[in-house]
Structure 1
Amino acid sequence: MKNLTISTFSIQRYAMLSIVFTVFGLSLCANKGYSQTSYKSTAGSQIKVTGTSNLHAWNMLATTFTSEGSLKVRDGELQDISSLSFSLPVTNLKSKDDLLDTRAYKALKASEFNRITFRLKGATVMPQQKIKVTGDLTIAGVTNEIIIMSTYAMNSDETITFKGAKQIKMSDHKIKAPSFMMGALKTGNEVNIEILLKLKRQNSIAQN
């Protein structure tokens, strides 16, 4: 009878351990799809600034800057963005006109504030591969909260492409619109910032 009791206890203990490990394994499998993953910008990313003047439109383009974020992807679908930022050296913005570049850098106070930055505050992933992004945009040392409506695409090489645009007023960042030829050419106060981020997967971050 004693041996039977010990045997029964051993079977029950084994069964309980099996249940615990099974539940633990299922939990790991379930959480795997939601793991947070680090992404960084890769070739193909660009930031374009366009504006107007009393004579013609103008634009400046940058293809060299840094961007990184933490994203949650499951079954090839974007689930959430917990962090996202970019940092753009002002002098990496280039036009086809050296004089325009020089005046733009001066207006942006590049000698004092040499980077344009963005830091995510919140993001809502919506149907049809759209995202509502809220964050802090800092230009010429002045930070303003902005909202950008963006689209995204999941690429076959495990990169994710984000596209969005935001129209801002230079005066909101205490920037005086540049002028040329002793004021004969004056740029408009509003500019459009077009952002294309191509982010490449780095590594998964374990969840606590």
Structure 2
Amino acid sequence: MKTILYPAHLSRPFKYLLLLIFSSVLFAGNLQAQVNYKLNGSKDNLVKVSGKSNVHDWTMTAENPVCEASFAAFTAEENVPKSLTSLNFSVNAKNLKSESTSMNNRTYKAIKADAFPQISFKLREATVTPQQKNKFSVNATGSLTIAGVSKVISLQVNGEVKSDNTIVCSGQENIKLTDYGIQPPSFMLGAMKVGNELAISFTLHFKK
């Protein structure tokens, strides 16, 4: 940090006033450098939850996810965000859909969707690393909340800046139902049993 030198004749209160003004200008500049992004609302936004059972693999898709993120200005050389300072994701638990209504209802019961209607992720910190022109990676840590239980998870995300300056982020994370106090559900009088491990994969398209 640069040392600020004041003329010797300035009084101490006036020096403090100048310092306050200087700090406020720097803070405002940092705020202006952050740009808020939201999902573009297209059907290309995809969040899937996949798992296995003793009978077959299964997939549920999250409808109408909501996500807002704050990216810093792009680098001049690689044209990628300098940082990711905030990200908040949420989806209604009952917006998880499979091809089976019976499976949907049992899933909602297992994840306590009536008591805890939102599944959410809140970013704690992230490191953005340029990979090549228009492409970058993000090492992110945040809190994932399911069925009212929050756990800190780490995510490896791939990012790309498109020609229209929209940002596409994709990745996958594996979790265990029991980490969130969820008993893996069973179907058909126990003939079909869902495994404890799930894979959450996502592709999100952000625009200003």
Taking structure 2 as the reference length, what is the TM-score of the superposition? Answer: 0.79
- The equivalent residue for 2:10 is none
Structure 1: distance between partners of 2:189 and 2:125: 44
Per the TM alignment, residue 156 of structure 1 is displaced from its structure 2 partner at its CA by 1.4
Instruction: For structure 2, list consecutive stretches of 5 or more residues without a partner in the other structure.
Output: 1-24
- Determine the structure 2 residue equivalent to 1:35: 33
Give the secondary structure class of the aligned counterpart of 1:127.
strand
Q: State the SS of the aligned residue for 1:177.
A: coil
Residue 193 of structure 1 corresponds to which residue in structure 2?
200
- Using the alignment, how far apart are the partners of 1:125 and 1:63 within structure 2? 28
3-state SS in 2 of match to 1:182:
coil
- Answer yes or no: is the 8 Å Cα contact 1:46–1:64 preserved in 2: no
Instruction: Give the letter for the 2:107 counterpart.
Output: A
Letter in 1 for 2:100: D
Contact 1:38 1:70 in 2 (8 A): yes
Residue in structure 2 matching 1:139, options 146, 156, 165? 146
Is 1:64 the counterpart of 2:67? The answer is no
Distance 1:161 1:133 in 2: 15
- 1:133·1:149 contact (CA, 8 Å) conserved in 2? yes
**Does structure 1 conserve the Cα–Cα contact (< 8 Å) formed by 2:63 and 2:97?**
no
Tell me, yes or no, if structure 1 residue 101 matches structure 2 residue 99. Answer: no
- Aligned to 1:61, the other structure's residue is in SS state strand
TM-score for both structures, normalised by structure 1? 0.79
Structure exhibiting the larger radius of gyration computed from Cα positions = 1
Q: CA deviation at 1:54?
A: 0.2
Percent same amino acid among aligned pairs? 40
Pair 1:167-2:174 in alignment: yes
1:155 to 162, 169, 172: 162
- CA distance in structure 1 between the partners assigned to 2:119 and 2:46 by the alignment: 13
Distance 2:70 2:81 in 1: 11
Q: Measure how far apart 1:108 and its partner are.
A: 0.7
Tell me how far apart the structure 2 counterparts of residues 150 and 36 of structure 1 sit (CA, whole Å). Answer: 20
- CA deviation digits over 1:54-105, x for unaligned, max 9? 0100000023111001110224321001100101001111111111111111
> Higher helix fraction: Structure 1 or Structure 2?
1
- TM-superposed deviation, 1:127: 3.4
Q: In 2, Cα distance between the equivalents of 1:118 and 1:184?
A: 33
Q: Secondary structure at the match of 1:77?
A: coil
Trace 1:5-44 onto structure 2 (pairs within 5 A).
35-42=33-40, 43=42, 44=44
Contact 1:62 1:93 in 2 (8 A): yes
For residues 170 and 80 of structure 2, the distance between their equivalents in structure 1, rounded to whole angstroms, comes to 17
Deviations 1:131-178 (A, max 9, x none): 101000000000000001010000112210100110000000000111
